[in-house]
Amino acid sequence: MVTLRVRFDKRLGNFALAVDFAVEAGLVALFGPNGSGKSSTLLAIAGLLHPERGAIYLGEQVLFDSERRIDQPVQARRVGFVFQNYALFPHLNVARNICFGIERAPAATRRQKLAELLALLQLDGLQERLPLELSGGQRQRVAIARALAPEPQLLLLDEPFAAVDSALREQLREELLQLQQKLQLPVLMVSHARDEVLQLASTVVCLEAGSVSAVGPPAMVLERAFYLQEGARFSW
């Protein structure tokens, strides 16, 4: 299994982000209250936010290392990103949304990849539809398919279930778990729902006010976070 190592400093206005964690990449949750720095951490891993200093490694692959003056561009990182609101292109149909990141691949490769992803994400028959003509769950599946098309080595999900109702959320969580197990793809998912992290994640990284407060198995770490939230005294 590959290790994801993330250590960097970044000032965002008055907010100081100083992240430091290393995890075995399975389905990892980045958990914390609003404004703790979760989305900014994903952006830094994807190469959309540039830290002042630090290093980000996925296994042996260097994504960023300020000492070695390496800052891989977004495409070279091979990191898939699903944004909170899915950010589908409204004027492009499902097929063109999914193939957006592989436009330069030969037509036959694109067709094959599209067919594979439509089947994997249960989107068969919907390829001609525009995003507006899809349900929330279908939109989310298209966003995941689009992120998977260039065959990333890491998938980043920013609160993937925020925009759907609770019944659908349950179903989509289960689908994500099955997808991750099937593809064996490292996933880092932002969440601020305890139940979601407990249900899905193999490891949780807790962020509080811009720095990592705990890393470990969700049942253990969240129990501690709960005690801290309640203001109770608790130590390991």
Chain residues that interact with ligand ATP, rule: CB under 6 A:
12-13, 15, 32, 34-40, 192
Cα 230 from Cα 228, distance rounded (Å):
5
Contact 120, 88 (CB under 8 A): no
Q: Which residue number, 15 or 226, has a Cβ lying nearer to ligand ATP?
A: 15
Q: Which is nearer to ligand ATP, 39 or 66 (CB)?
A: 39
Residue 56 beta carbon to ligand ATP: minimum distance, rounded to whole angstroms: 16
Nearer to ligand ATP, 43 or 130 (CB): 43
**127 C-beta neighbours (distance < 10 Å), count:** 17
* Closest CB to ligand ATP among residues 32, 218: 32
Q: How far is the CB of 35 from ligand ATP (least distance, A)?
A: 4
147-164 burial string, b = 16+ CB within 10 Å, else e? bbbbebbbbbbbbbbeeb
- Using the minimum distance from each CB to ligand ATP, give the nearer residue, 154 or 205: 205
Shortest Å distance, C-beta 140 to ligand ATP: 17
Of residues 192 and 194, the one with the C-beta less far from ligand ATP: 192
Q: How far apart are CA 190 and CA 74, in angstroms?
A: 19
Q: For residues 117 and 150, is the Cβ–Cβ distance under 8 A? A: no
Least distance (Å) between residue 189 CB and ligand ATP:
12
Least distance (Å) from ligand ATP to the CB of residue 13? 3
CA atoms within 13 A on the CB side of 200: 33
Residue 36 or 203 having the CB closest to ligand ATP: 36
Minimum CB distance to ligand ATP, residue 222 (Å): 16
Strand partners, 71: 64
Please report how close the Cβ of residue 115 comes to ligand ATP at its closest, in angstroms: 35
Query: Which residue is it, tokens 């002042």?
Result: 52
